[in-house]
Amino acid sequence: MTQILAYALQHPQDQLVPFELTLRKLKEQDILIDILYCGICHSDIHQARSEWGQARYPMVPGHEIVGRVKQIGAKVIGFAIGDAVGVGCMVDSCRECGSCQDELQQFCSQGPSFTYNSLEQDKQTPTYGGYAKGIVVHEDFVLKIAPQLDLARVAPLLCAGITTYSPLRRWNVGPGQKVGIIGLGGLGHMGVKIATAMGAEVSVFTTSLNKYEDAKALGAKHVILSKDEAAMKAAAKQFDLILDTVSAKHDINLYLATLKRDGVMVSLGIPPEPVELSLRSLLSPPRILTGSSIGGIKETQEMLDFCAQHRILSDIEIIAIQDVNLAYERLLKGDVKYRFVIDMQSLQG
């Protein structure tokens, strides 16, 4: 067993504080990773505060993990000590069900082992995330990262990157298509970058004109103010695909009207209240409303390779672990462009 330092909370009303974590013993196909950076995802806050239920404490959040291989098990192949690697939202699955066989481990019928606030496949051992000095993961769930990239800016790709890449890939986005992105936060800014690299003409829907220059700088061709009735009317029946990244309450019917016949709107955010849907929005012309979460390990690696090829990185603000509670407060206010990343080398002792 290895003892490391981490930041954890013991109760949903607590703040994150220093915590001594015991990593599980390295098995023959495991990798011990020295964590260098960990992104802060909005879902970290939801889970830390038990807003999605079934929270397990003590909790060490973090599933946007980048580091270097520190130790490998006797049967590990394809990784060497010192390699740049990443860990995303999952650390294991049953490997046997239909979804796992299809390399869609996120839909494992036995339940995937998520990186934190979850259980290993023995259904007894709790998992702990990336707000820590290290993590032990089976090699099948460790991802390769191009060493020439800025590792801190790679970290958010492990969640925000795959969450936006997966639906764009699934719906075959490419040149000649028009893609709309609702919201320009951690997910939205990655959606703009990835869809643009795929060759699509990208528009950003926003409620605030102060996002105009930012959206353009990220690669958006157009910026549409969703509060402007004339602008929304002009956008009617224009888009092949829309990624809805907003987790706050909003009128999805307003945006469905901007889809072409057989256009697709993919919901990525999770609003706190049920969404009101007018079926008329889906009928004439026919449109598709669907959802997407993350991707499997194969697709996540594909996303990392695509981003390396196109030099796509997240726009980040690096913080010390000691400032994580303040970062949570700022994130809830939308006060970040566009992802906080913790420098885990700030965790000393």
**pLDDT (tens digit per residue) in 165-174:** 999 999 999 9
Q: What is the pLDDT of residue 53?
A: 80
Same domain for 206 and 246: yes
Q: What is the pLDDT of residue 248?
A: 84
Same domain for 62 and 20: yes
How far is residue 80's CA from residue 97's CA, in Å, rounded to a whole number? 30
* Residue 41 pLDDT > 70: yes
* C-alpha radius of gyration, the chain, whole number: 20
Same domain for 301 and 218: no
Tell me the mean pLDDT in the region 242-265.
95
Which residue range forms the structural domain that includes residue 195? 161-291
* Residue 123 pLDDT > 90: yes
Tell me the mean pLDDT in the region 23-49.
95
Q: Phi and psi (nearest 5°) for 68?
A: -130, 145
Q: What is the mean pLDDT of the chain?
A: 95
Q: Residue 215 maps to which CATH number? A: 3.40.50.720
Tell me the mean pLDDT in the region 103-117.
97
> Percent of the chain having pLDDT more than 90?
88
* Residue 181 pLDDT > 90: yes
Q: Phi and psi (nearest 5°) for 291?
A: -135, 170
Q: 65: part of which helix (H) or strand (E)?
A: strand 65-72
Give CA separation, 73 vs 35, 297, 314, in Å. 18, 20, 32
Length of the chain: 349
Same domain for 126 and 20: yes
Whole-prediction pTM: 0.94
Helices (H), ranges, the chain: 42-48, 98-101, 151-154, 160-170, 186-197, 212-218, 229-234, 252-256, 280-283, 297-309, 324-332
Same domain for 146 and 8: yes
Q: What angle do CA 100, 124, 22 make, to 5 degrees?
A: 105
Tell me the mean pLDDT in the region 329-333.
93
* Residue 74 pLDDT > 80: yes
Q: What is the pLDDT of residue 131?
A: 98
How far is residue 281's CA from residue 62's CA, in Å, rounded to a whole number? 37
Same domain for 233 and 322: no
* Residue 243 pLDDT > 90: yes
Q: 342: part of which helix (H) or strand (E)?
A: strand 339-343
Q: Report the domain count for the chain.
A: 2
Q: What is the pLDDT of residue 274?
A: 86
Q: What is the pLDDT of residue 2?
A: 83
Same domain for 316 and 234: no
Tell me the mean pLDDT in the region 73-85.
96
**Residue 21 DSSP SS3:** strand
- Asked whether the beta carbons of 332 and 51 are under 8 A apart, the reply is no
Q: What is the pLDDT of residue 1?
A: 66
Tell me the mean pLDDT in the region 275-304.
94
Q: What is the pLDDT of residue 93?
A: 97
Same domain for 285 and 245: yes
Q: What is the pLDDT of residue 349?
A: 63
| Widest pairwise Cα distance in the chain | 64
Residue 169 token pair: 């890939």
Same domain for 235 and 181: yes
